[in-house]
C-alpha cells in the first residue's frame, strides 16, 4: 500500500511522531517509545456531545438528535452481535475503555503484550456497529445511573451551570451524557444515522504510543481498515451571541463548603490559533491570579480562597472561556477582587518578571507532556482534534508568546461584561 508519511520531530526532547495518511482515509499518528513496557492506542472520531445538528453533503435537511447520543453510541459500540467487547480485550490481557467529551469520542486500550491482537479488536469493533431495540433499552438503565452519578457530583454541576450561564445556543451547555429523558428518545435508527455520519474514517484518527513501531501499526491497519469514501460533513451550531446568558447562577447541593467557578467568555479560535490563544490566556491568567500572584496572596490572607483555587481554560469548536474556581464563603468578593485586579493590569500593565518566570514554567510542563506513553497518546489525539496540528507545537507556540500578546489578551478575553459566576451552596443538613 502507498501511504503519505510525515515524520515530525521535537528537537528538544528527541521525540518523533510518524503521521500517516492511510489510503482508507484514516489519519494514523505513532510515537515509538521503545524503553517503555506498555503500548497505548486511541481510535477517535470528531464526534462529541456538541454535535446535535448535522447533515452530509446531499442531505436536504439537517438531522437533529437528542442530547447524549454520542455518549450513548460510545457505550453501545462495546457490544458486538455475538459478545461483549471487554471480554475480547480481557482475553489478550489488554485494558480497554472509552470516553466521550464535548467534541470527540475516543476508544482506547493499553497493553504490555499482544498489541497486534488488541489493535485488531479495537479497529474491528469500532467499525462494526450493532444496535437493536433490546440492547438500546438495556443500556438506558446503565447510562441513567451514570447520569445520576454526575447529577450528584457538585464539580460537574458547577461547571455545567456555568456553561448554561455563558452560552445561549451553543450545545456545549448540554450535559455530555444527556438526561434520563433525552436518552429515552434514542433508537437504533438514530444511532446508525449518527454512526454513518461521524464514524467515517476520514473523520477519525488512530494514535499509538509506547513500545511499538509504526510498521507494526500499519500492518494491522492494512488488514483491518475498511476504505471509507470521503464525505462532506457539516455540523452546525446556532449563532452564539458574544454576551453571557446571565452573570450569576446558583444551586444548592450536599457539599461541605460553597464552591464557585468564574467564566470569562470570549471569541473562539481553531487550530494553531486556538492553541496560541489558550496558552497566552493561561499565562495571562496565571500572572493575574496564579499562586505566585499578589492577588492570590491577598485573597489567601483575607481567607477568601483556599488551596483549591485554580485557573484553567476551556475551548473547542465554537466556544472559548477562561475559568477560575475553588471554594469560598464569599465567591462574589473573589470575583470583585479578580475584576479589580484585571482592570488594574489593563491600565498599569502585567508584571513582566512574573510573566517571564511563568513562561519558563510552561516550557518545563510542555517538555514533559510526553514523559510516558499514556500521556503521549492523549497529546497525539489532542493535536489531531485541534485542527491536525503537530503534537510538538506547544513548545514552539509558547516560545513565541510575548508580554504584549498577554496584555492584548487581557483586554480581549477578560471582560467584566462577559463574565458569569456559578455557585453551589451547601444544602440544609438532612433532618
Partner 1 sequence: MSQLRPSVPLSDSITYTEIYDEKFKTCALYFRFFVKRTPQTAAVNALMIDLLTNCSADYPTLAALTLKKQSLYGASLHSIRGNTGDVQELTIAANWIDDRFALEGESVTDAMAALMLGCILRPNAQNNAFDAAAFRFCKQNLLDTIDCEINQKRSYAMLRAAGIAFEGEPAACPPYGTRESAEQITAESAFAAWETMLKTAPLEIVAVLPSEKPKLLQMLSDAFSSLQRDPVPVMFESASPCKASPSVIEEPMPVTQCKLVLALKTADAPHEAMQMLNLLLGGTTGSLLFANVREKLSLCYYCASRYQRSKHTLIIDCGVRTDKLCEAKEAILDQCKALREGGFTDAMMEEAILFYEHSLASASDAQSGLAAWVFQQKQTDRNLTMEESIALLRTVTREQIIAAANAMQLDTVYTLLATKSEDENGEEASE
Footprint (CB under 8 A) of partner 1, residues 85-144: 86-87, 89-96, 110-113, 138-144
Question: What cell was used for 221?
Answer: 491497519
Dihedral Cα 219, 220, 224, 226, nearest 10 deg: -50
Which residue in the block uniquely carries the three cell numbers 472509552? 98
Q: Name the DSSP class of 266.
A: -
- Of the candidates 413, 422, 417, 423, the one whose C-alpha atom is nearest the C-alpha of residue 243 is 417
Instruction: Specify the stretch interacting with partner 1 by CB under 8 A; choose among 220-228, 245-253, 380-388, 410-418.
Output: 245-253
- Specify whether 74 is catalytic: yes
Range 175-234, binding partner 1 (CB under 8 A):
180, 210
**Candidate residues 7, 128, 132, 148; the one interacting with partner 1 per rule CB under 8 A:** 148
Range 56-85, binding partner 1 (CB under 8 A):
84
Q: Which is nearer to partner 1, 12 or 223 (CB)?
A: 12
Could you give the strand order of the β-sheet that contains 4-9, starting from the edge strand earlier in sequence? 4-9, 16-21, 27-32, 204-210, 39-45, 105-111, 95-100
User: Which ranges in 167-268 belong to alpha helices (H)?
Assistant: 180-184, 188-198, 214-224
Q: Is 52 in the site for partner 1 (CB under 8 A)?
A: no
From the candidates 4, 11, 64, 74, which is the catalytic residue?
74
Instruction: Specify the stretch interacting with partner 1 by CB under 8 A; choose among 44-52, 145-153, 192-200, 272-280.
Output: 145-153
Range 289-308, binding partner 1 (CB under 8 A):
290-294, 296-297, 300-301, 303, 306-308
Q: Do residues 232 and 203 make contact, with C-beta atoms less than 8 angstroms apart?
A: no
Q: Do residues 163 and 172 make contact, with C-beta atoms less than 8 angstroms apart?
A: yes
Range 325-384, binding partner 1 (CB under 8 A):
327, 354, 357-358, 360-365, 367-368, 370-374
Residues 410-429: x where in contact with partner 1 by CB under 8 A, - otherwise, as a string? -----------------x--
Q: Is 266 in the site for partner 1 (CB under 8 A)?
A: no
Q: Is 253 in the site for partner 1 (CB under 8 A)?
A: yes
Q: Which is nearer to partner 1, 15 or 27 (CB)?
A: 15
Q: C-alpha angle 390/393/399, rounded to 5°?
A: 165
Minimal distance, residue 96 CB to partner 1, in Å: 7
For residue 221, how many C-alpha atoms fall within 13 Å in the half-sphere facing its CB?
28
**Candidate residues 41, 136, 174, 249; the one interacting with partner 1 per rule CB under 8 A:** 249
How would you classify the pairing of strands 248-253 and 419-426? parallel
User: Which ranges in 32-114 belong to alpha helices (H)?
Assistant: 69-77, 85-91
Q: Is 256 in the site for partner 1 (CB under 8 A)?
A: yes
Minimal distance, residue 15 CB to partner 1, in Å: 9
Q: Which is nearer to partner 1, 105 or 197 (CB)?
A: 105
Active site residues: 74
Amino acid at each position: 500500500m502507498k501511504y503519505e508519511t510525515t515524520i515530525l520531530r521535537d528537537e528538544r526532547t528527541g521525540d518523533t511522531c510518524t503521521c500517516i495518511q492511510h489510503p482508507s482515509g484514516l489519519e494514523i499518528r505513532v510515537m515509538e517509545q521503545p524503553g517503555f513496557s506498555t503500548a497505548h492506542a486511541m481510535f477517535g472520531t470528531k464526534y462529541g456531545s456538541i454535535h446535535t445538528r448535522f447533515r452530509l453533503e446531499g442531505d436536504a435537511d439537517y438531522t437533529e438528535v437528542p442530547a447524549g447520543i454520542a455518549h450513548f453510541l460510545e457505550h453501545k459500540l462495546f457490544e458486538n452481535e455475538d459478545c461483549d467487547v471487554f471480554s475480547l480485550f480481557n482475553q489478550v490481557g489488554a485494558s480497554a475503555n472509552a470516553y466521550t467529551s464535548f467534541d470527540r469520542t475516543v476508544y482506547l486500550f493499553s497493553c504490555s503484550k499482544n498489541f497486534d491482537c488488541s489493535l485488531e479488536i479495537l479497529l474491528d469493533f469500532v467499525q462494526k456497529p450493532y444496535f437493536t431495540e433490546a440492547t438500546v433499552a438495556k443500556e438506558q438503565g446503565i447510562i441513567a445511573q451514570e447520569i445520576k452519578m454526575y447529577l450528584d457530583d457538585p464539580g460537574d454541576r458547577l461547571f455545567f451551570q456555568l456553561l448554561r450561564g455563558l452560552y445561549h445556543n451553543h450545545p456545549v451547555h448540554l450535559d455530555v451524557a444527556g438526561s434520563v429523558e433525552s436518552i429515552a428518545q434514542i433508537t437504533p435508527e438514530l444511532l446508525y444515522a449518527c454512526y454513518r455520519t461521524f464514524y467515517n474514517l476520514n473523520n477519525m484518527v488512530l494514535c499509538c504510543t509506547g513500545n511499538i513501531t509504526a510498521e507494526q501499526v500499519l500492518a494491522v491497519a492494512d488488514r483491518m481498515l475498511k476504505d471509507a469514501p470521503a464525505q462532506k460533513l457539516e455540523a452546525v451550531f446556532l449563532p452564539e451571541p458574544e454576551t453571557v446568558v446571565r452573570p450569576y447562577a446558583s444551586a444548592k447541593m450536599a457539599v461541605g463548603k460553597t464552591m464557585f467557578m468564574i467564566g470569562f467568555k470570549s471569541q473562539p479560535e481553531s487550530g494553531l490559533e486556538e492553541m496560541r490563544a489558550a496558552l497566552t490566556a493561561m499565562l495571562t491568567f496565571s500572572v493575574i491570579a496564579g499562586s505566585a500572584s499578589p492577588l492570590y496572596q491577598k485573597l489567601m490572607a483575607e481567607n477568601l480562597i483556599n488551596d483549591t483555587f485554580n485557573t484553567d481554560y476551556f475551548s473547542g469548536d465554537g466556544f472559548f472561556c477562561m475559568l477560575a474556581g475553588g471554594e469560598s464563603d464569599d465567591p462574589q468578593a473573589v470575583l470583585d477582587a479578580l475584576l479589580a485586579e484585571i482592570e488594574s493590569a489593563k491600565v498599569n500593565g502585567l508584571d513582566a518578571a512574573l510573566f517571564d518566570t511563568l513562561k519558563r514554567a510552561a516550557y518545563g510542563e510542555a517538555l514533559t507532556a510526553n514523559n510516558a506513553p499514556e500521556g503521549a497518546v492523549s497529546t497525539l489525539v489532542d493535536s489531531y482534534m485541534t485542527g491536525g496540528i503537530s503534537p510538538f507545537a506547544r513548545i514552539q507556540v509558547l516560545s513565541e508568546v510575548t508580554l504584549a500578546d498577554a496584555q492584548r489578551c487581557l483586554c480581549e478575553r477578560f471582560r467584566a461584561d462577559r463574565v458569569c459566576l456559578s455557585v453551589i451552596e451547601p444544602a440544609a443538613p438532612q433532618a
